[in-house]
Chains A and B, each alone.
Chain A
């Protein structure tokens, strides 16, 4: 099956700086890569996603890039704010199935 690795496990940045979280996957058949943000005491919420026919996608301060050849994708958050502090999860899913394979999460702290 698919194996998703996520780095780093913790990340601290100063407010206004950028944050980058990286994930790698093992199965070249994976074609959908969502990113979730989980705030304390809440369920994971989808913040951005990318499909394998696209190399980059942006939504305001958040962007995701995908390198299919290297089998890795990254979340970029620019101009970080304290409310960006949360745990972020990446995931990958195969074209033929519904199951998501999640990374182990990155705890992001934005220091005011």
Chain B
């Protein structure tokens, strides 16, 4: 089974440029999560979707960040314009809402973003 797929795996860009990160969740999963990981702040939830609808975007740091999920198999996280402090590893995770109780999240390999 293919796990969560993220692209690109590495991104180096200059301050002010637009950055688009992509994620393909596990087939059949209907929840998708975007996280940011840094040494200082650990794993931070940025936004999550249920059935392609954004549910909680309170973790999105500012208006420069936006996320979309146009269909069940694709999501993007966009940063425009990018700044050096956005340098981090960005993870996408997905889960299934079937059943009751907590839902296991499966993480992708991450995108390592460096903004110069």
Contacts and interface: CB of A to CB of B under 8 A. Distances in A.
Query: How many interface residues does chain B have, given as a range?
Result: 20 to 34
Interface residues of A, number: 21
Contact of B91 (A31, A34, A43, A51): A43
Contacts of B43: 44, 89, 102, 105
Contact of A93 (B42, B91, B103): B103
Interface of chain B: mostly helix, strand, loop or mixed: strand
A98 interface: yes
Given A45-B107, A104-B42, A98 B101 contact: no
Interface of B: 4, 31, 33, 42-43, 45, 48, 50, 55-56, 91, 93, 95, 97, 100-110
Interface of A: 31-34, 36, 42-46, 49, 51, 89, 93, 95, 98-100, 102, 104-105
